[in-house]
Structures are given as structure tokens and as C-alpha cells.
């Protein structure tokens, strides 16, 4: 009979390797339909020109907002952006042209993403 230590080692090996592999396959299957939130991070130029740009830092649906020297927090849900920048409430949505359209405080907001700036001396 071959039940000795070699057989126990083989069973233990299969369990130690097989279990994590099955968990990985389960996680990949369950997460296959997940969609990340839209990317809204960056600099948004407000219309009319000459106003301070709206800076957005994004981590998933959570937004850090800066308008001039005023900062605040916001949230992205689907195409809807909401938040507070100092005393001003931000309510906007991403339109079909990729602009933020809504209100910032009492003022109408129309903002387009600013072109990315190239870094000096970067690779």
C-alpha cells in the first residue's frame, strides 16, 4: 500500500495549490461585469474663459475639488458629479461632448477638460 508520507504530501500539495486557484477563478468570474467609474480627474476650463479652472483629483467615485484657492469634496455617480467647493454646491453631469454642465453655487457651469500639459524633463 502506498499511503505513506508521499501520498499525504501529494494531497496536501493539491489542497494548498488548488484552493487559492479556485478562489482566484471565483473572484475573476464574480468581477467580470464590474465597470470602473468614468475618469473626470484633471483640469476643467470654465466658460467663459478667464475664470479659475476647476481642478479634480479622483479616486474611484470620490473627488477632491479645487476652484482657485477654495477646496472641497465631491462624488461621481454614473455621469452625475456632485459636491461642495467651499460655500458653493456643485451639481453637474457629463454631457455627450464630454463637458461638465450644471451649476456651481448659483452660477451656470460649463467646463471642458483642459488639454494635458507635458512635463518638463519627463520621460
Q: What does residue 73 show for φ and ψ, rounded to 5 degrees?
A: -125, 155
Region 81-105: mean pLDDT is 94
What DSSP character marks residue 34? -
**Grid cell locating 31:** 468581477
Domain ranges of the chain: 1-34, 42-113
Across the chain, mean pLDDT equals 89
pTM score above 0.85? no
Cβ count near 109 (within 10 Å): 21
Q: Residues of the chain with pLDDT > 70: what percent? A: 93
For 27-40, the pLDDT digits (tens) are 999 999 988 899 99
For 8-30, the pLDDT digits (tens) are 998 999 999 999 999 999 999 99
Q: Kindly tell me the burial class for residue 92, based on how many C-beta atoms sit within 10 Å of its own C-beta (0-12, 13-18, 19 or more).
A: buried
How far is Cα 42 from Cα 111, in angstroms, rounded to an integer?
12
Q: How far is CA 36 from CA 33, 43, 104, in A?
A: 10, 20, 26
Amino acid at each position: 500500500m502506498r499511503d505513506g508520507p508521499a501520498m499525504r504530501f501529494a494531497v496536501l500539495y493539491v489542497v494548498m495549490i488548488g484552493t487559492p486557484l479556485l478562489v482566484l477563478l471565483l473572484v475573476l468570474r464574480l468581477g467580470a461585469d464590474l465597470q470602473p467609474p468614468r475618469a473626470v480627474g484633471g483640469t476643467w476650463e470654465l466658460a467663459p474663459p478667464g475664470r479659475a479652472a476647476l481642478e479634480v483629483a479622483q479616486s474611484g467615485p470620490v473627488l477632491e475639488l479645487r476652484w482657485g484657492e477654495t477646496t472641497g469634496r465631491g462624488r461621481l455617480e454614473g455621469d452625475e458629479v456632485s459636491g461642495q467647493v467651499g460655500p458653493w454646491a456643485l451639481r453637474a453631469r457629463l454631457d455627450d461632448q464630454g463637458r461638465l454642465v450644471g451649476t456651481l453655487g448659483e452660477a451656470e457651469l460649463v467646463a471642458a477638460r483642459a488639454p494635458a500639459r507635458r512635463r518638463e524633463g519627463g520621460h
